[in-house]
């Protein structure tokens, strides 16, 4: 009965996507922050963010919501990859050292504890000496 009502209500509406999930987490984050510091601005922020989530979820303008989500993903995916790479480098810190090539900004991984070695960047051909 309730499920049927929800199904009928959501028919032709946009529903959930990655941008909404991100907004929900952001809203929860500000709500959690509010429990530590009771600032009025946080309450307003949470209301705006959660309101935006519901607005997008119940929206009938599906094409516009999809293009918003695409724009969000083109910003979010590179950030997510950077974070994942940083986590990987941190977990690997006992085995390898990572150096950033000054020319092309590529991360180069070298084994740890080999003393001073010359590192050759396979991407741009730059060479530099570092202590590992």
Task: Output 59 or 126, the one with its CB closest to Zn ion.
Answer: 126
Structure tokens, 4: 């049927």
Q: For the CB of residue 129, give the shortest distance to Zn ion in the complex, in Å.
A: 15
Task: Output 93 or 100, the one with its CB closest to Zn ion.
Answer: 100
Residue 81 backbone phi and psi in degrees, to 5: -65, -40
| Chain contacts with Zn ion (rule: CB under 5 A) | 101, 103-104, 106, 121, 123-124, 126
Q: For the CB of residue 108, give the shortest distance to Zn ion in the complex, in Å.
A: 8
Task: Output 22 or 128, the one with its CB closest to Zn ion.
Answer: 128
Q: For the CB of residue 102, give the shortest distance to Zn ion in the complex, in Å.
A: 8
Structure tokens, 97: 């050292």
CA distance 16 to 121: 43
């Amino acid at each position: 009965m309730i499920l049927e009502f929800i199904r009928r209500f959501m028919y032709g509406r946009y529903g959930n996507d990655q941008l909404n999930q991100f907004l929900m987490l952001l809203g929860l984050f500000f709500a959690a922050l509010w429990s530590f510091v009771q600032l009025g601005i946080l309450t307003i922020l949470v209301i705006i963010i959660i309101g935006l989530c519901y607005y997008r979820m119940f929206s009938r303008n599906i094409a516009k919501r999809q293009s918003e989500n695409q724009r969000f993903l083109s910003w979010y995916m590179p950030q997510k990859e950077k974070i994942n790479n940083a986590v990987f480098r941190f977990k690997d810190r006992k085995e390898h050292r990572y150096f950033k090539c000054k020319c092309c900004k590529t991360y180069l991984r070298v084994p740890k504890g080999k003393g001073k070695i010359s590192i050759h960047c396979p991407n741009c051909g730059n060479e530099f000496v570092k202590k590992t």
